[in-house]
Amino acid sequence: MRNGELYQLEVRFESKRRMVFRDSLKLLPGSLSSLGQSLCPKLGSKGEVDHTSVVMDNLASRKRELVEYMKQDIYLLGGIMLQAQNIYWSLYELDITTKITLSSLALTIFRKDYYDEMSTPIAIPHRTAEEFIRRGYYGGHADVYMPRGDNLLYYYVHSLYPFLMKSSPMPIGAAKWDGNLQGFAL
């Protein structure tokens, strides 16, 4: 569980076997219907059931319909996962079953194929440094001033942060405490 959302559920048996269930939406964000159409259309379409009409009183009479609906969903999801696995393996030689989220998959691909740790190491700050840095996270300022004065110049800056990220060298290396309350220096 993370932020009230279920990512993975592991069931352990006395025989030391286990079953792991993962939320496929965290790895392949998209509806089952659209993923099925784009990745494996030969498996058929996702079925439809009016979920609002499914109540305890009619479960027995609708059993066949509901079981067929669930079978098609499981069949389609299995095909989608297999096709995605084949795609990621052919492009990156990466087993997606070891990843829970699309972010972790992207980070693995980046580190494996595009990142050179020797030239730009990623420094993980120690706990004190991390806590200090996190206290500095806050949203941008939205200040309003009265537009009056003599010889004023008005500037409007749009997308300054992405521009600086693109054009400035990235701070790399381990953060070092500079000995005062001003913070860390890179």
pLDDT tens-digit profile, the chain (186 residues): 888 999 999 999 998 899 999 999 999 999 999 999 999 999 999 989 999 999 999 999 999 999 999 999 999 999 999 999 999 999 999 999 999 999 999 999 999 999 988 888 878 888 888 888 888 776 666 666 766 778 877 777 777 777 777 887 766 767 666 666 555 554
CB 101 within 8 A of CB 26: yes
User: What is the spatial distance between Cα 91 and Cα 84, in angstroms, rounded to a whole number?
Assistant: 11
* pLDDT the model gives residue 29: 93
**Domain enclosing residue 130, as ranges:** 120-137+152-186
Question: In this structure, are 81 and 43 located in the same domain?
Answer: yes
Q: Is residue 15 part of a domain?
A: no
Residues 72, 53, single domain; the answer is yes
Q: Is the pTM of this model over 0.75?
A: no
Please report the sign of the dihedral spanned by the C-alpha atoms of residue 57, residue 59, residue 11, residue 29: negative
Centre a 10 Å sphere on the Cβ of residue 19 and count the other Cβ atoms it contains: 9
Residue 160's pLDDT is 75
8: closest CA among 98, 70, 107?
98
Q: Looking at the structure, do residues 174 and 105 belong to the same domain, yes or no?
A: no
Q: Per the domain annotation, does 90 fall within a domain?
A: yes
The answer to whether residues 156 and 102 belong to one domain is no
**Structure confidence at residue 183 (pLDDT):** 52
> Is position 67 within any domain?
yes
Number of domains in the chain: 2
**Predicted pLDDT at 166:** 81
Q: Are residues 56 and 84 in the same domain?
A: yes
pLDDT of residue 185: 52
User: Could you tell me if 85 and 160 lie in one domain?
Assistant: no
133 and 185 fall within a common domain: yes
In a domain, 7, yes or no: no
* Residue given tokens 């027995």 in the structure block: 60
Say yes or no: 72 and 129 in one domain: no
Is residue 53 located within the same domain as residue 94?
yes
Separation of alpha carbons 22 and 82, rounded Å: 15
Q: How far apart are CA 186 and CA 170, in angstroms?
A: 10
